[in-house]
Amino acid sequence: MTSLIAKNTDCVVHCSRLAEYRSPFGAQKTGGYVDLYIDASVSVDEIVLCYAYGLYGLSYNELRCKKIESVPNRYACRLRMPAEPGLLFYWFCLRGKHSDIEAIVDPQYHELLYRKHEEDRAYLYYVASWEGDDGKGKFAFSAPKVGVDEEKYPHAFQITVYEEGFTTPDWMKGAVMYQIFPDRFARGGDYSFEKMESTGKDRPERIFHEDWYEDVDIDGKPETGYLACDFYGGTLKGIAEKADYLKSLNVDVLYMNPICEARSNHRYDTADYLNVDPILGGKDGYKCFSSIMKENGIRYIVDGVFSHTGADSRYFNKYGRYEAPGAYSAFVEGKNSDYSSWYAFRRDENGNVVYDSWWGFPELPNTKEDDLSYRDYILGPDGVVASWIRGGASGVRLDVSDELPDSFLREMRSCVKKASSGDGLVLGEVWEEVTTKISYGSYRDFAYGRTHDTVMGYPFREALLSFLRGDTSARTWSLTMEKYRENLPDQMFYCMMNLISSHDVPRAITMLVGPPDPGSREEQKKIHLTKHMKSRGAALMKMAFALQMVYPGCPCTYYGDEIGMDGFRDPFNRRTYPWERECEWQKDLLSSFRSLSELRRKYEVLRCGEVEMILADGDDLIFGRTLNEEGKDHFGKACAGPKKVLCIMNRSDKMKMLVRLDESSNVVSTEHIPDIFTGDGETKCVLSSEQQGRVEVRPLSAIVYVQV
């Protein structure tokens, strides 16, 4: 922190989120200009802007800042952004006589200064502080490390440079999203156990649950062990028949886990990219589903798994299940296969067949994404992706997209846009901060307008759950989210998939109030939430929904979270939706979810309005969404309805929060009064005309305050 090394922490100031110091704000288009300012009320010979830019390699450069005579102690420089998308890191170096630089730093740290004795010059660096309000920086004794293989400390300020003309689908910006694991959501009206069972005639490893409410399998069959091959008979028709339910949740777009033919229930081991799994209803069931979704105005995106296929697939065909030879038999038996070049085979020193597989799982052989015949099959004009888009899908979610080559991803984007006349979505599975994601020895081309439209918001999930659990403060949440807002292109920021659960992580309510993960599936299965856990968990889930629905991006709900379904990791986060068995507390939670999700339909400001952090301290969090004076949102679209909505959150379970507002819904003051959480969170929406400028927020509750 600045205070550890400097006598006066404000003698040098640059705040990357304030227009006074950096303009324009945030990520920038290629070729644009950014003005940078820094105030220095100390004696120095010069202040130098140091910067490094690029993507697959970084170029280091320096630019001397000029003193602004009209503003005391201010230095400035203008920087033209690179012509190619990538990252631009910058920091400042103060250079002056030893005595001048020493005057800035506490004496005990003088020996750490970088010195040029032959020139009587010393250097002091001004770098980014991820704990700085408004992006305020701090001092450091060495320059930031920004290379791929470097420690990344001290931190540099960042400008994300994205492709000019980068746009994302307007229908996705601010949309309400709902994720479904197809086998576990709903059976269709034409379901029969015999019909489901008949789909497994040639798949002896499969287990079929006749009882929809039976718990998930964790053992598999004795002869195979656990293979994630137990099925409940959820179908695409079953999803379609729940269209009214989805509409009651105000869902705009569905994201479905894979529906292509596969051996497992999760279907990330694709067997046939061009065939809908028969147990889901096959192609006829898909056509029915697609038609009904269109009639109800609900878009959907499909899950594309392209870094690997299943070993039990028509392409690899390790077990001879498919008639035509696959790549495995072609290698082992010397047969011809159209898919031979898709995989990498060899024999080990003992003559055994060895092939590359996803994370070492032999049932998931890796594909060679650079193979042109594979690319044509997946991305060609008549390929897999174009076929799904033309068949009704509004986009593709890319499984493990950080394991796909950037060139493949760029071609994927081109394919989706061409097949959809520019309106299709490319959503990537990236778990880390997307602008600085590193894999395979390089920063990745994920957030610069050439590959993804958006990615799954796992950092959003982690920040939100950590705050609601009490692990971190409201300020930590605010600083984290402001960092992402600063670094993400606005086209991506407003359609980020802001999830709190998914098929790959424990359910949100379990993360919020459940016990620690015991590790083994056997132990996980024994754990159930207590009455107290459910009560507290429901209150926290309501708060999570409120924050999701008010914060920019696309709030995504994993099926069943709206009623507080619990469970640890796979397979317990993939249980069946308990239709007609919802408890009273679950019905209450569902009612709250419906009310909160409806806000996205009622108030356009919540789609693409600006966001403003107002108060973030301890248990208190207040942020707002606003339109400008002309009633326009961030993208200049005129919006109907109120110009301002606040989200006021009280995480404390021991204090009531009183917030006083003026006529313009600005926060005047906050007050805390002892009040114990009694088991019921009171998260709700209120209108300004009802409150007379005073909002009371009970423990573990949130208020969405609308200025009318």
Active site residue 163: no
- Between CA 145 and CA 2, with CA 133 as vertex, the angle to 5 degrees is 55
The half-sphere exposure of 217 on its side-chain side, counting CA atoms within 13 A, is: 23
Q: Across-strand partners of 74?
A: 39, 68
Decide: helix, strand or coil at residue 332.
helix
Beta carbons of 264 and 229 less than 8 angstroms apart: yes
Return the amino acid letter for 669.
Answer: S
CA distance 603 to 631: 12
CA distance 187 to 243: 13
- Run of H or E residues at 548: helix 531-550
Secondary structure string (H, E, C) spanning 393-445: CCEEEECCHHHCCHHHHHHHHHHHHHHCCCCCEEEECCCCCCCCCEECCEECC
SS3 helix, strand, coil % of the chain, rounded to 5?
30, 25, 45
Catalytic pick from 183, 303, 312, 399? 399
Secondary structure string (H, E, C) spanning 636-668: CCECCCCCEEEEEEECCCCEEEEEEECCCCCEE
Q: How many helices and strands, by DSSP H and E, does the chain display?
A: 18, 37
- Residue 293's contacts (CB-CB under 8 Å, 6 or more residues apart) are 240, 243, 254, 299, 300, 392
Active site residue 429: yes
Catalytic pick from 429, 486, 561, 604? 429
Q: Two tokens at 59?
A: 């170029």
Angle, in degrees to the nearest 10, between helices 372-379 and 406-419:
30
If one counts every other C-beta atom within 10 angstroms of the C-beta of residue 353, the result is: 12
Q: Across-strand partners of 615?
A: 622
Q: Two tokens at 343?
A: 């995989």
- Between CA 265 and CA 274, with CA 268 as vertex, the angle to 5 degrees is 95
CA distance 540 to 544: 6
Q: Are strands 701-706 and 684-687 parallel, antiparallel or unpaired?
A: parallel
DSSP secondary structure letters along 383-394: SHHHHHHHTT--
If one counts every other C-beta atom within 10 angstroms of the C-beta of residue 217, the result is: 18
Locate all alpha helices (DSSP H) within 28-119, ordered by sequence: 98-102
- Run of H or E residues at 62: strand 58-64
Q: Could you tell me if residue 272 is left (phi over 0), alpha (psi between -120 and 50 degrees) or otherwise beta?
A: beta
Residues belonging to the active site: 399, 429
